[in-house]
Every structure is written in C-alpha cells, then in structure tokens.
Amino acid sequence: MSVTTTSDPAVTATTAVVETMTTTTATGDAGAVDVVAGAGTDGSPAVPEGAVMWTDCEVDGLECGVVTVPLDYRDPGAGELAVAIAVHRATDPGRRIGYLVVNPGGPGGSGVEMVSWALDGPGAVFTAPVLDQFDIVGFDPRGVERSEPPFVCGEPGAQLALLSQVELPFDTADEIAAGEAAALLCAESMGPAAGLLHSEYVARDIDEIRKALGAERISYLGMSYGATLGVWYATLFPESVRAMVVDGADNPLDDASTVEARVANVIDELRQFDVLLGEALDACDRPECPMYNDGDPRGYFKDNVGALDAVVEATGGNPVAGALAIITPLYSQESWPYLWIGYALLVEEGDPSLLAEFARYQLGDSSGGTTFVEHVNCLDSWVLYPQLDRSLRISDERAMEEAVRRELPLLAHLEFAAPGTCPFYDLLDRSSFDGTLDGGDVPIVVIGNPRDPATPFSESQELVEETLSNGYLVRAEHHAHVVYPSNECANEIIHRALIDLVLPEERTTIC
C-alpha cells in the first residue's frame, strides 16, 4: 500500500497559491563574499572566517550559502554533499539571541524557501518577536531542491512501468523481481546517496550547519515532519540545543510489534482525513455549491470517483494521484471550496487541471514513481525497524488495504493501494540506529492540534507521553495543519520557550 501525504504546513487552496509556494526560491551561489560575524547573546562565538561563504540570495533581504557535509557518516572518506542554506538576519540586531534553525516539513520541504516567506511581512510565517531576535536559518535537506544529490529514481516513467506489472500483493517471482528492479533504479540514479537520505543523516547535517555557523548551540523550530528532525537532532546532539519547539508532530516511534499494531498506526494517521472529507462535503450545503447535488454532496462524491482516473493520467500515471488530489485540499478549511470546484470541473467538464495541481504538490517530480516523501519515510522505517523484513512489509500491504476499506468509509472510495518500492529497500545501504530516540532529555515543547488532518493530535500526545524523555504538550485548536503562527495562546508559549527559555508550568497545557 502506497500512501503519500506531505506534511508541509503551507499547503494552500488555489492553483495560484500552490505555484507561489513552489516557485518562491532563494537560490544563491557559493562565490566568495565577506562572512557575516557577530557573537550571539546565547554565548555563541563569532562566525569563523570562511566557515560559510555568504552571498546575496536571488530573493532580496536574505543571504545564501553552502555547507559541505559527509555523504556517509560511517565512512568519512566516502565523499561529500553540498547542502544549501539561507539566513534571514534578526531585524533588531541589538537584541539578537542567536540562530534559529527551521524546517517546514515534508519530507522534502525547502527550508530555504521557508526563510524566504519571512519577507512576506511581519508575522506572515514567523511572528515579530522571532523575526526581531533570531537569525533564522533554513536549509534544503539532502536530496531536496538546491541540495545534493538530485532526487531521481530512473528515467521518467521507468519505475511506473516496472510496478505496473504488479498486482498486489507481491506474490510471484516476476512481481518481486519487478519490485527489486524499481527500488534499484534509485541506487542506479543516485549511487550510495540513495539509501542515505533518511532523517538520522539529515539531523547530522544540521549539526554540520551549526558548526559552519560557528554557534555553540542553536535553537530549533520544526513544523510537521520538521518535528521528527528535531527529535532526531536533540537525541543525537543534546548539548547543541539551546531551545526547541515542534508543531504538528508525528511520533516517529509507533508500535511496530505486530501487523495489527502497524495497520492501526496507518489507520489512525488517515482517520482525520476521512472525518474532514465528510465535513468538507457536508459544508457544500447550498445550491450554488458545485457539488450540492440536491443536498447530497456525499453521493456526488461517491458516484463520480471513477472520474479521478483523468487526474491519474494528467499527473504521470501514479495510481494514487486521484486520492492525493482529494486529500490535499483538506489540509486547511479555507481550501474546501477549491475541492468542490475542482471536483465539479472534473465531473461536469472533464477538466482535471485544478485537482491535478493538488496531486502534483504531493507527488513532486516523481514521474509517476517513488516520491521523495515515500522514499524518506521508507528509509526511516528501515533504519528504526530493521527487524521488519521484506516478507513482513509485503504482508502489511494487503492488511492495510483491507483496513482502509473496512474502517474509513469515505476514503475507501479512493485508490490508495498501489505497488511501491519500500519492501525492497533492503537492497539499499541505509545504516541502522541502535540508540534510543527520546530527545536526549532536551526540553521540547510540542504543539498539537485536534483538528490537524495530517498529524493527528494523538500522535503529538504519544510523542510527549511515550517517546520523549522531557516533552511538554500544548493543545491548541486550529482548522488547518500546524498551529504556529495562527494561535495567539500557542504563540506566547512558543515565544517564552524559544526566546526566554521558560517552559510551560504543566506537562500538558490547553490553549
């Protein structure tokens, strides 16, 4: 079963906004310029001369640079990768605290672009106190946007051609051979880096960025999947963390002991999408709504799901593109009208263009094959759960498909089951993690949202109560994925944690 849902907090409602999100860049080159120096009030030293060669970005107001990191942290001689970074300098230099490293989610979200959003006006993406007092540093994780390696798994359409030979589950020699060949296309395209794009290594890259910045410690703000990176970083480098807040957090350590537990985890993470899809359809309750259907928008949705085949065709042939086109507008209540419009355009006029934009946002440039989200999530799973061998992962595919049909009545009408490459990533050299992923006793403030479609509040609870050794849960209501900077109560808690180093008085706080 291949389910791809991005965790980026900035999923938007219209094609125009989606295009803005995905084309607002801050690309810089690595030419030699003066290095910006200056000690922070956190005691970090001035930037060592030559550590980062800053240039002006294409987006005015930012500075860009490149940090070189080891390809494989197990083997320093294996080569290097270039990681792109950008910084938005504190707007009140006299009150500057230090560096705040940020990640917008994904996997696959661009931190360089996230920093560029700070230029849209105070509070647009970052609140004014954060903009005033931090040099905000974003980076493109290895394999993302401007950072090496370019993410490629074969020629366009090659993976899809191989996987189209498979009828789930993988239970014949020819089907298994096709799955293996599809997975190996990633290694053929990216070399050893193919198996080294997982979260542990990205967290290690963050510490290389810290060193290049000349900071003894950094503060960190991670959104959605960025929370996972934060947990990894705090676990591996607890002494390097000054303060940490994560928002819309998934628990990276789910119960994987039985197939029932693994299936339950997937269902829990999809359930809110099923709930919100029902609410979005029910909200189409006026005759002028494109899906009104004489007061039965749910019936309109169910009766016309076959039309989503046109979205699949328009986006390169990935079988789950139609499902992604429906799920993506659910990330924000403000996007629901575009779901209604896009679905009606598809059904009434045969026009898949609007829904295809939503699907493309999820799929990225995957050419119908493995997406970056799938690739990293799969690698993370193999790193954390190497005991789940190929046969177990293949058997899980069928059980998960059956559970979706049984427990999610609206999503059951969508196509989520598609052959994927993940069971065959035992062929990629990934490394494995034998430590305890618990945040290293770093105080971590976790913002959770009961209305969050992508990372259920239960995941934030589990992260604090079962995984982190020193977590603080903040429950804040918001009708979209992630809360910051849209909830004043949560913002105040975030400011106290990041700026003043003051933690909530209780382990669980309700905003």
Per-residue model confidence as pLDDT tens digits over 310-344: 999 998 888 889 999 999 999 889 999 999 999 99
* Per-residue confidence (pLDDT) for residue 11, from 0 to 100: 35
Q: Terminal CA-to-CA distance of the chain, rounded, Å? A: 37
Tokens for 78?
Answer: 């294996």
The pLDDT of residue 10 is above 90: no
Tokens for 354?
Answer: 């609007």
> Cα separation of 367 and 386, whole Å?
29
Tens digit of each residue's pLDDT (9 = 90 or more) over 33-76: 222 333 444 444 444 444 899 999 988 889 999 999 999 999 99
With bands split at pLDDT 50, 70 and 90, how would you rate the model's confidence at 204? very high
> Cα separation of 43 and 210, whole Å?
14
The pLDDT of residue 450 is above 80: yes
> Cα separation of 353 and 331, whole Å?
19
The CA–CA distances, whole Å, from 379 to 42, 167, 172, 427 equal 35, 23, 24, 11
Query: Once rounded to an integer, what is the mean pLDDT over residues 7-28?
Result: 32
* Per-residue confidence (pLDDT) for residue 23, from 0 to 100: 28
> Cα separation of 327 and 361, whole Å?
11
* Per-residue confidence (pLDDT) for residue 1, from 0 to 100: 46
User: Does residue 258 or residue 210 have the better pLDDT?
Assistant: 210
The pLDDT of residue 371 is above 50: yes
Calculate the CA 191 to chain-centre distance: 24
> Cα separation of 254 and 312, whole Å?
31
| Mean pLDDT, all residues of the chain | 88
180 class by beta-carbon count within 10 Å (0-12 exposed, 13-18 middle, 19+ buried):
middle
Query: Once rounded to an integer, what is the mean pLDDT over residues 13-34?
Result: 29
**DSSP letter assigned to residue 466:** I
**In the chain, what's the furthest Cα-to-Cα distance?**
69
The pLDDT of residue 397 is above 90: no
What does the DSSP assignment read for 437-450? Answer: -SGGG--EEEEE-T
Give the list of residues 6+ apart from residue 73 with CB closer than 8 angstroms, or none: 201, 204, 431
The pLDDT of residue 17 is above 60: no
| Angle, CA 304 vertex, CA 298 and CA 307 arms, to 5° | 140
Residue 149, preceding bond cis, omega within 30 degrees?
Answer: yes
Give the list of residues 6+ apart from residue 259 with CB closer than 8 angstroms, or none: 392, 395, 396, 399
Phi first, then psi: give them for residue 484, nearest 5 degrees.
-60, 135
Calculate the CA 293 to chain-centre distance: 35
- Which range is least confidently modeled, 10-14, 185-189, 201-205? 10-14
> Cα separation of 473 and 460, whole Å?
7
Which residues on neighbouring strands pair with residue 444, listed in sequence order? 244, 471
Order of strands, sheet of 63-70, starting from the edge strand that comes earlier in the sequence: 55-56, 63-70, 80-88, 134-139, 98-103, 218-223, 241-247, 444-448, 471-475, 508-510
* Per-residue confidence (pLDDT) for residue 58, from 0 to 100: 85
Block residue for tokens 């040099």: 135
CB 226 within 8 A of CB 102: yes
**DSSP letter assigned to residue 52:** S
Whole-number percent of the chain with pLDDT over 70: 89
All domains of the chain in start order, with CATH: 15-150+200-248+440-510 (3.40.50.1820), 152-196+254-436 (no CATH)
- Which range is least confidently modeled, 95-109, 294-308, 401-415? 401-415
**173: helix, coil or strand?**
helix
With bands split at pLDDT 50, 70 and 90, how would you rate the model's confidence at 167? confident
The pLDDT of residue 6 is above 80: no
Tokens for 492?
Answer: 């105040």
Tens digit of each residue's pLDDT (9 = 90 or more) over 97-150: 999 999 999 999 999 999 998 876 655 789 999 999 999 999 999 999 999 999
* Per-residue confidence (pLDDT) for residue 432, from 0 to 100: 86
* Per-residue confidence (pLDDT) for residue 319, from 0 to 100: 87
Tens digit of each residue's pLDDT (9 = 90 or more) over 469-507: 999 999 998 888 899 999 999 999 999 999 999 999 999
